[in-house]
Structure 1
Amino acid sequence: MGLKISVIGTGYLGAVHAACMAELGHDVVGVDTDVLKIEALAAGRSPIFEPGLPELLVSARASGRLRWSTDIADVADADVHFVCVGTPQKPGEYAANTDYVFGAFASLAPHMKAGSVAVGKSTVPVGTVPRVLEVLQAGVCEGVDARLIWNPEFLREGFAVKDTLTPDRFVYGVEREFAEANVARLDEVYARALAAGTPRLVTNFATAELVKVSANAFLATKISFINSMAEVCEASGGDVVALADAIGHDERIGRKFLGAGVGFGGGCLPKDIRAFMARGEELGLAESVEFLRTVDATNVRRRSRVVELVRDVLGEDVVGAPVAVLGAAFKPNSDDIRDSPALDVAERLVALGVDVRVHDPEALAVARAQRPGPGYVDTVDEALVGARVVVLLTEWQVYRDLDPADVAEQVAGRVLIDGRNALDRQRWAEAGFTVHALGRPTIPPAS
């Protein structure tokens, strides 16, 4: 028998979590203030591109286990309340904006019932959760205990459904009061995954707050490390892909996240490492997180390198030169354009006067609405025809599958800049292209 669950906030995290909780057999209500988003979800339509989510929304709707509302009062009978609101970067600052988190818990508190548990899933700066607990304690009705547990999410965009239903670990941050009961209740929620052997770690609040940002800081560091090595390879004639393969065989290092290229983006890694820096400085630990400034700077520098390559290829004929940019989303299998390296590069090229033609299989609608600067085209052919340079910036499979010989017949200049080291350079060279790839020697066209 499933529990009654509420999910407050139905963005990327909340929509996925609500649908997955219903899939696990729980009775779920998702709540958000965005009327259009709730209407779409209620109709079984996903507001984001995330593989597997549309199917879950349809099946959950048919089962009757998932409903959506704009009224926070509809959470009142829930046993467990998941708060899944965002913590975006503050405008003009590195710090995270936690206003939505405190607002959500303040709105939830009067509707908690005796025995119910509030569960925070948002990524917050260390030291936030005790203040969240104070908000709950101040807002719950008389006779209701403010029970709180922090359960950070570890979702990868493009794999969020899998990561929710079959995660690689659970982390529960608890206080001493109600700790045993809170853990037991959350164990009920995740019973299926726990029975399958998913590890579960119980920590204090501070550790739970630090887990997600620490993981993201480490992954970002690994990416920027290999991109720093790419810069060395470019200067010395080395091949960063071969280098990554070689060091990746060391089991202490591993090959994952050693893909050199235009760098990371999205709604997590960039803002999380910046928020980590800001919080470290607030705690008087600026030196402890100073390395993250180098990580961030290296990441941004790789985008500049792509722009430099395009400018070098075009020479003095930059203004009006047609350039195909393949990719707008920050990664494949997502329509998320937050801090997208691809769009950053495209916008910088537009500023130089380049005739930029951006294509993406899924992110065009959101890109046109939120980042209207570059020219967007609906098909790959529209991007390629007459282009003097082809720039791959998001490694969608549709771009990996392009036939270089066919592309050669469409473009005006046979120059490829592979910003993700995702394509078969030799095949493109055999089709007559000069191939530039970050951190690798340039390959001239085959004679």
Structure 2
Amino acid sequence: MRISVIGCGYLGAVHAACMAQLGHEVVGVDVDAAKVEALASGSAPIFEPGLEDLLQAGAASGRLTFATGTAAVRGARVHFVAVGTPQRRGENAADLSYVDAAIEGLLPHLAPGDLVVGKSTVPVGTAARLQERLDEAGSGAVLAWNPEFLREGFAVRDTISPDRLVYGVPAGEPGERARTLLDEVYADALGRGTPLIVTDYATAELVKAAANAFLATKISFINAMSEIADAAGADVTALADALGHDVRIGRRFLNAGIGFGGGCLPKDIRAFTARAEELGRGESVAFLKEIDAINLRRRQQMVDMVVEALDGSVFQKKVTVLGLAFKPESDDVRDSPALDVAVRLHGLGAHVVATDPAAIPTSLRLHPQLGFATDTRDALRGAEAVVLVTEWPQYRDLDPVEVGGLVASRLVLDGRNVLDAAAWRAAGWTYRGMGRP
């Protein structure tokens, strides 16, 4: 099939490259000329394992092209909308201006029978409104909503081999037409038995919002338990292990630490809350405000731990911060707890030297006042405290004996509870975790 992808940020670039890998002819459209040029040359503007290889393969095959003008979508039968829905400035609600602009840009180029597919995370009710706009313009196109469930660092795998597919389609013949076209797009995954849920617009929109709300709740729950563990002298990691053996609960997302960040969970739970309030059901998700509050205060708790460990002041003390991205295998620093901790420590007068395998360039643009080191050993040299805040494998696997010779003081604070506390203590380090005695 010939497919267009409107918006070539994190979601759109991955989707376009993966669709070309599956054999479709794909054109990606974005207003950012520099981004389009980079993608067309096979260079990924974001760090995502496997993406650059797919971009280069797609370009070499001729199946993947990029353009800045929506006229390039002509001839495509399916048009994916993958633009951002950031948080509105000064509000919790989602900014849908990019989604609306994408639909308006598509209208002159749609042909009867075309399918427009929303992949952006939007408040419930958006799809029905956009279908009305397509009808009002006489486009003859049908809208479907096909939420994404990508994990940064695994986005290529999750696109090519999804754990489920969700189609939100209208009733009757238009919905059947939409399903037929989407089945053709995802023929490879469906042929391998990927579960498919076909539903209405509202349910498809809620699936994404509810999934992110549940994951955020699970993370903040264990972080709340971590706070109790700190007060009681318990070990939250052992607690999580015990809870995780209950198949109704599971162990994943029960890792206490400095909390979640990135471009999805924080803004999506806020947008979900705002939309529920608009629908007159704010009380149904009022708990999400506390989930958000728990998550945000974990960052200050990490900073407070560092200050306490350094005898009440970090002023003019060298603090090495291991990690800047909000999670490993990503260069994404949007709402990153790790970067936030580094900035807060700097604000207290610490000499912060931060390092990260992928996120230094993005962090440097946002916070040039911080110190950065590309080499972990250079970052550690002379440190009076080491703070692990992103659980990259190379930080989890550090040899405490070897790196002990680099630092000025063997003090490590584990903001992700991933280090072997016994091994670090045996090597002469003072080890402190979050919710660990």
Does TM, normalized by the shorter one, top 0.5? yes
Contact 2:70–2:105 (8 Å) recurs in 1? yes
The reply on whether 1:332 has 2:328 as its aligned counterpart is: yes
- The alignment's C-alpha RMSD in Å is 1.0
Aligned counterpart for 2:91 among listed residues 84, 90, 93: 93
Alignment equivalent of 2:56, drawn from 55, 58, 63: 58
User: Secondary structure of the residue that 2:234 maps to in structure 1?
Assistant: coil
Residue-by-residue CA offset, 1:368-396 (whole Å, 9 max, x unaligned) = 11233422222112221111100000000
Alignment of 1:327-366 (within 5 A): 327-366=323-362
Work out which of the residue numbers 157, 160, 171 in structure 2 matches 1:162. 157
Structure 2 equivalent of residue 129 of structure 1:
127
Q: What is the Cα deviation at residue 316 of structure 1?
A: 4.6
The correspondence of residues 39-50 of structure 1 with structure 2, limited to 5 A, is 39-50=37-48
1:284, distance to aligned residue in structure 2 (A): 1.4
Which of the numbers 312, 319, 335 marks the counterpart of 2:315? Answer: 319
Q: Partner residue of 1:232? A: 228
Bigger mean CA offset, 279-288 vs 151-160: 279-288
Aligned twin of 2:197: 201
Q: Are residues 1:416 and 2:409 paired?
A: no
Native 8 Å contact 2:314 2:345 kept in 1: no
Deviation at 1:110, TM superposition (A): 1.2
Partners in 2 of 1:403 and 1:254 — Cα distance?
30
CA distance in 2 between counterparts of 1:319 and 1:277 reads 39
Q: How many residues align?
A: 436
Partner of 1:445: none
The whole-number CA distance in structure 2 between the counterparts of 1:245 and 1:60 is: 43
Secondary structure class of the residue paired with 1:323: strand
Q: What does 1:252-267 align with in structure 2 at a 5 Å threshold? A: 252-267=248-263
Q: Does 1:249 find its partner at 2:249? A: no
Deviations 1:173-195 (A, max 9, x none): 11115011110110000001001
Asked if the contact 1:392–1:417 (Cα under 8 Å) also holds between the matched residues in 2, the reply is yes
Please tell me the residue identity of whatever aligns with 1:51. Answer: P
| Runs of 5+ unmatched residues, structure 1 | 442-447
Aligned partner letter, 1:339: D
Q: Does structure 1 retain, via aligned residues, the 8 Å contact 2:322–2:395?
A: yes
Q: 1:396 aligns with which of 384, 392, 395?
A: 392
Q: Secondary structure at the match of 1:209?
A: helix
C-alpha distance after superposition, 1:126-175 (max 9, x if no partner): 111111112222335xxx41310000000000000010001011111111
Pairing 1:372–2:368 present: yes
Give the drift of 1:317. Answer: 4.3
C-alpha separation in 2, matches of 1:179 and 1:250? 40
Distance (whole Å) between structure 2 residues aligned to residue 401 and residue 34 of structure 1: 39
Whole-Å separation in 2 of the counterparts to 1:404 and 1:4: 54
Moved more, 378-387 or 414-423: 378-387
SS in 2 for 1:101: helix
- Residue 168 of structure 2 aligns with an amino acid whose one-letter code is G
- Other-structure match for 2:68: 70
Q: Is the 8 A contact 2:273 2:288 kept in 1?
A: yes
Tell me the equivalent position of 1:213.
Answer: 209
When normalised by structure 2's length, the TM-score is 0.98
Counterparts of 1:367 and 1:84 in 2: how far apart (Å)?
25
The two structures have a TM-score, normalised by structure 1, of 0.96
Distance 1:101 1:373 in 2: 35
C-alpha distance in structure 2 between counterparts of 1:373 and 1:274, whole Å = 30
Given that 2:111 and 2:141 are in contact with CA atoms closer than 8 Å, whether structure 1 keeps it comes out as no
Alpha-carbon distance in 1 for matches of 2:100, 2:368:
32
- Take 2:284 and 2:340, find their aligned partners in 1: how far apart are those partners? 29
What are the within-5 Å matches in structure 2 for residues 253-332 of structure 1?
A: 253-332=249-328
Asked whether the 8 Å contact 1:331–1:394 carries over to 2, the reply is: yes
Task: Return 5+ residue gaps in structure 2 as ranges.
Answer: none
Tell me which residue corresponds to 2:147.
Answer: 152
Determine the structure 2 residue equivalent to 1:185: 181
- Superposed displacement of residue 111, structure 1: 0.4
Look up the SS of the partner of 2:193 in the other structure. coil
- Partner letter of residue 198 of structure 1? T
Identity level (%):
60
Superimposed CA distance per residue, residues 386-435 of structure 1 (whole angstroms, 9 cap, x where no aligned partner): 11100000000111121111211111111100000111111111111110
Where has structure 1 moved over 6 Å in runs of 4 or more? none
Deviates more, 1:365-374 or 1:244-253: 365-374
CA distance in 2, matches of 1:372, 1:135: 44
Query: Residue 9 of structure 2 aligns to which amino acid in structure 1?
Result: G
2: CA distance between counterparts of 1:157 and 1:317? Answer: 36
Secondary structure at the aligned position of 1:256 is classed as: coil
Is 1:106–1:139's contact at 8 Å kept on the other side of the alignment?
Answer: no
SS in 2 for 1:357: strand
Partner Cα separation in structure 2 for residue 354 and residue 48 of structure 1: 30
- Aligned-partner Cα distance in 2 for 1:315–1:406: 26
d(CA) in 2 for partners of 1:12, 1:318: 37
Q: Which residue of 1 aligns with 2:82?
A: 84
SS at match of 1:440: coil
